[in-house]
Amino acid sequence: MKLGVQLGYWGLGLSAEDQRVIAQEAERLGYDSIWTAEAYGSDAATVLAWLAAQTSTIRLGSAIFQMPGRTPAMTAMTVATLDGLSGGRMQLGLGSSGPQVAEGWHGQPFGRQLQRTREYVEVVRRALRRERVELDGEVLRLPLPDGPGKPLKLTIAPVQDPLPIMLAAVGPRNTALAGEIADGWIPMLFSPEHVGAFRAHLEEGAARGGRTLDGFRICPSVNACVTADLDHARDLMRDFVALYVGGMGSREKNFYAATVGRYGFAEEAARVQELYLSGRKAEAAAALPDELIDQVTLAGPLEHVRERLAVYRDAGVDTVIITPYADDLDGRLEQLRLVAEALEPAASDQERLAA
């Protein structure tokens, strides 16, 4: 099992210099990958290009590129360019974002997400294979009919063939789609204890696509804080988890609340939603059960985090993408080191058991 680090957004808490230092320290520590995100501030691609110039071996990933923010052809152009500039280190993580961002910020319809994602990925793959792109889809049509457009092909090629494409998916049907069409899956609020249910959805999709999950990568994004004070570590995680369980959607449709409900926390999720959407965010965070925090984050003493990483490894996780939680840059760098230290014995234990 490998480690990645999520750098998040530029300009909100982390400066360009902070991100450079974290990326270079992660590379020195042997982390496999660095990832950037986007919402409606900094974009992920520009930051990845800058980080590519500051590093030499660590892989680069988008977690995620927003599909409503780019045509699939532009996504193919962007990742092919990043792959070339970095010497073949790019990994493409795609996601739908949410209806507020898709329709309110990008002016793109949010409906029919399964079909939209299927066609989007198909166009990206065709473009990266440097085929002349034509698609008469239910959502996407290239070229547009009855106009001057003609099928075009990408004028540059990525270094990697194929370039990995992963989906950030929530919910059973979207997870199954990842198993069907993607090379990997980037879940949030992932509980390794429940990997069997997730794997069933992934296998359903893989069977539909006429393939197996051999080589398929599960790469959860996980908040991390290694500290002797378990209660303090849990409290640091609460605002983020409450935001997703309580605030990412309406009372009627919140995929993250539904996810933790499937973990056995349906009543607690409903309570968190009610508090959060009523503006009582601190109470919502406090209402999160400790058991849920422990399942979906890496928080607490080194030995506890070491044990949790072993659970992720045994669940078949390929890469744990951590977001290091600390008050300042030095603290984040220390978190990188501590998580790397926690992983090493877990790997050694696996080798010993295998022998």
Pairing state of beta strands 2-6 and 141-142?
A: unpaired
> Is 271 inside any structural domain?
no
Which residues span the domain enclosing 192? 2-229+301-354
Q: How far apart are CA 35 and CA 45, in angstroms?
A: 10
Whether this prediction's pTM lies above 0.75 is answered by: yes
**Residue 322: CATH number of its domain:** 3.20.20.30
Number of domains composing the chain: 1
Q: Contact, 69 vs 95, CB < 8 A? A: no
Q: How far apart are CA 325 and CA 224, in angstroms?
A: 6
Q: How far apart are CA 233 and CA 348, in angstroms?
A: 26
> Is 94 inside any structural domain?
yes
The H or E element spanning position 2 is: strand 2-6
For the chain, 355 residues long, give each residue's pLDDT as a single digit of tens: 999 999 999 998 889 999 999 999 999 999 999 999 999 999 999 999 999 999 999 999 999 999 999 999 999 999 999 999 999 999 999 999 888 899 999 999 998 999 999 999 999 999 999 999 999 999 999 999 999 999 999 999 999 999 999 999 988 999 999 999 999 999 999 999 999 999 999 999 999 999 999 999 999 999 999 999 999 999 999 999 999 999 987 788 888 999 999 999 999 999 999 999 999 999 999 999 999 999 999 999 999 999 999 999 999 999 999 999 999 999 999 999 999 999 986 554 444 445 4
Q: Contact, 178 vs 285, CB < 8 A? A: no
> Is 234 inside any structural domain?
no
The H or E element spanning position 233 is: helix 230-242
Q: Contact, 141 vs 226, CB < 8 A? A: no
> Is 295 inside any structural domain?
no
